[in-house]
């Protein structure tokens, strides 16, 4: 069921700079995944002011805030009732378009995106409900200023990798456009463990009932110093199965796994999973044993892309926001619809992924993410929580991958450090 409602409404007079050389503004019309027009973005290319060549990267955005006003004949446009924070998604698409090779940019275009009003509304509603509930819960326990807490969320289509929804912060405005979903790199902590466990299963042949001992461990870090990580809770459980270790997020077992599989191997796997080996080869994910506990900084979008591998049966699928671009005559200028097998890479076997998914389903019903699941979701999902001194994460999937990142750990109360 689609929650968004198509409406026709009258916009305020568009804000246009007063310039006699500007005959008509350029507009980009944005369409949802169902080809429904939901937003029109207006701007004047540079040539309107003085530059006859024009330059998209320096074009003047008049779709939102300006101190100049000029009437415009097209005062009415159709707009799908997508929540206001979809502004983060629109800005992200505009950034992606700048990176696309087009013969002509300073013309009006139709941008067909991947956003789904249903999923955008879903993640926004869940975020709002969560803050309301946590405010009530914490009011009697400890004073806490939620105005300093932020949130980011991503919803991806498992089959295609298309972004179905995006939240870059609690409130989108002209003064608050910083998109935490794609720009804020945070330590991902225990959300990395499913990938380490998958590597151990494939390289060492471990099974769900393989036994390990939860006990004090130590390793030498990349500087040659002794590293002695501890569990979130100040005790050890002794003999535990592989499945139990991830369900309750035992740090000592994760460290034992990276000792067995190899730090270098896990670092290389992480670069492939999160798709950053081509962007930052070797310097964002270092060969360090602390990688077993998620000591790397990723954006929510990068982490969501990693969980897409699990949700898609072990295959890495590129994430994208724009399906195609056409001119106003309907001529396709660029097409980004995925082709089966195109740009996809198998990372884990289906057998391995099925075991990991079984682990993660138990994590949300019996393990470290059960409180978050109980308060925020009402359907079956596989997922993993994680927390650092400043942040809390939840990454999970059903037919879509939804990834949350709060910039204050007290907002989610997730464990699995």
**Phi-psi category of residue 260: left, alpha or beta, with phi > 0 → left and psi -120 to 50 → alpha:** alpha
Helix 193-204 crosses helix 251-261 at what angle (to 10 degrees)? Answer: 40
Per-residue pLDDT band at 89 (split at 50, 70, 90):
very high
User: Domain-by-domain residue ranges, the chain?
Assistant: 6-113
> Of 190-194, 258-262, 283-287, 290-294, which range is least confident?
283-287
HEC sequence for the chain: CCCCCEEEEECCCCCCCCCCCCCCCEEEEEECCCCCEEEEEEEECHHHCCCCCCCHHHCEECCCCCCCCCCCCCCEEEEECCCHHHHHHHHHHHHHHHCCCCCCCCCCEEEEECCCHHHHHHHHHHHHHHHHHHHHHHHCCCCCCHHHCCEEEEEEECCCCEEEEEECCCCCECCECCCHHHHCCEECHHHHHHHHHHHHHHHHCCCCCCEEEECCCCEECCCCCEECCCCCCCCCCEEEEHHHHHHCCCHHHHHHHHHHHCHHHHHHHHHHHHCCCCCCCCCCCCCCHHHHHCCCEECHHHHHHHHHHHHCCCEECCCECEEEEEECCCCEEEECCCCCCCCCEECCCHHHHHHHHHHHHHHHHHCCCHHHHHHHCCCCCEEEEEECCCCEEEEEECCEEEEEEECCHHHCCCCCC
| Mean pLDDT to the nearest integer, 281-288 | 74
pLDDT score recorded for residue 20:
44
In whole angstroms, give the CA distance from residue 180 to residue 303: 13
pLDDT score recorded for residue 207:
96
Residue 319: pLDDT over 70: yes
The residue written with tokens 């809390």 in the block is: 392
pTM over 0.75: yes
pLDDT score recorded for residue 408:
44
High-pLDDT (> 90) share of the chain, %: 41
Q: What is the mean pLDDT of the chain?
A: 77
The residue written with tokens 């750990």 in the block is: 409
Residue 167 sits at φ, ψ, to 5 deg, of -125, 125
Cβ neighbours of residue 70 closer than 8 Å, sequence gap 6 or more: 13, 14, 16, 17, 18
In whole angstroms, give the CA distance from residue 319 to residue 93: 12
57-71 as b/e: b if 16+ CB within 10 A? eebbebbeeeeeeee
Q: What is the pLDDT of residues 115-132, one digit of tens each?
A: 998 888 888 887 777 666
DSSP strand pairing (186-187 vs 211-214): unpaired
Q: What is the pLDDT of residues 5-51, one digit of tens each?
A: 222 222 233 343 434 444 556 788 899 999 988 888 777 655 444 44
Question: Measured between alpha carbons, how far apart are the two ends of the chain, in Å?
Answer: 37
**Phi-psi category of residue 365: left, alpha or beta, with phi > 0 → left and psi -120 to 50 → alpha:** alpha
pLDDT score recorded for residue 137:
57
Residue 85: pLDDT over 70: no
């Amino acid at each position: 069921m689609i929650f968004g409602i198509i409406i026709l409404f009258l916009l305020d007079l568009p804000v246009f700079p007063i310039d006699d050389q500007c005959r008509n503004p350029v507009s980009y019309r944005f369409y949802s995944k169902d080809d429904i027009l939901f937003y029109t973005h207006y701007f004047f290319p540079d040539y309107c002011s003085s530059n006859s060549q024009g330059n998209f990267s320096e074009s003047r955005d008049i779709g939102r805030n300006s101190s100049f006003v000029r009437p415009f004949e097209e005062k009415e446009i159709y707009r799908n009732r997508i929540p206001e924070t979809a502004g983060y998604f629109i800005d992200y698409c505009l950034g992606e378009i700048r990176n696309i090779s087009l013969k002509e940019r300073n013309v009006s275009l139709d941008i067909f995106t991947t956003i789904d009003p249903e999923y955008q509304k879903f993640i926004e509603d869940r975020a709002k409900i969560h803050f309301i509930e946590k405010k009530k819960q914490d009011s009697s326990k400890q004073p806490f200023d939620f105005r300093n807490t932020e949130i980011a969320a991503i919803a991806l289509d498992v089959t295609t990798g298309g972004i179905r929804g995006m939240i870059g912060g609690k409130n989108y405005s002209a003064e608050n456009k910083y998109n935490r979903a794609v720009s804020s790199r945070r330590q991902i902590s225990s959300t990395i463990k499913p990938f380490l466990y998958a590597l151990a299963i494939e390289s060492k042949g471990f099974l769900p009932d393989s036994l390990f001992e939860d006990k004090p461990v130590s390793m030498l870090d990349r500087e040659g110093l002794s590293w002695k990580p501890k569990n979130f809770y100040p005790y050890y459980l002794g003999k535990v199965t592989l499945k139990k270790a991830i369900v309750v997020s035992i740090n000592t077992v994760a460290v034992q796994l990276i000792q067995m599989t190899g730090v270098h191997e896990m670092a290389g796997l992480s670069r492939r999973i999160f798709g950053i080996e081509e962007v930052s080869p070797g310097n964002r994910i270092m060969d360090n044993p602390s990688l077993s506990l998620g000591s790397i900084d990723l954006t929510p979008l990068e982490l969501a892309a990693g969980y897409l591998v699990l949700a898609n049966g072990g295959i890495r699928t590129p994430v994208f926001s724009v399906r195609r671009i056409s001119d106003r005559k309907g001529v396709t200028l660029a097409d980004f619809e995925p082709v089966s097998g195109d740009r996809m890479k198998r990372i884990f076997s289906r057998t391995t992924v099925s075991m990991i998914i079984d682990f993660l389903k138990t994590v949300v019903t019996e393990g470290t993410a059960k409180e978050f699941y109980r308060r925020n979701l009402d359907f079956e999902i596989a997922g993993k929580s994680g927390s650092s001194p400043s942040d809390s994460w939840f990454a999970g999937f059903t037919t879509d991958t939804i990834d949350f990142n709060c910039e204050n750990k007290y907002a989610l109360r997730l464990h699995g450090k």
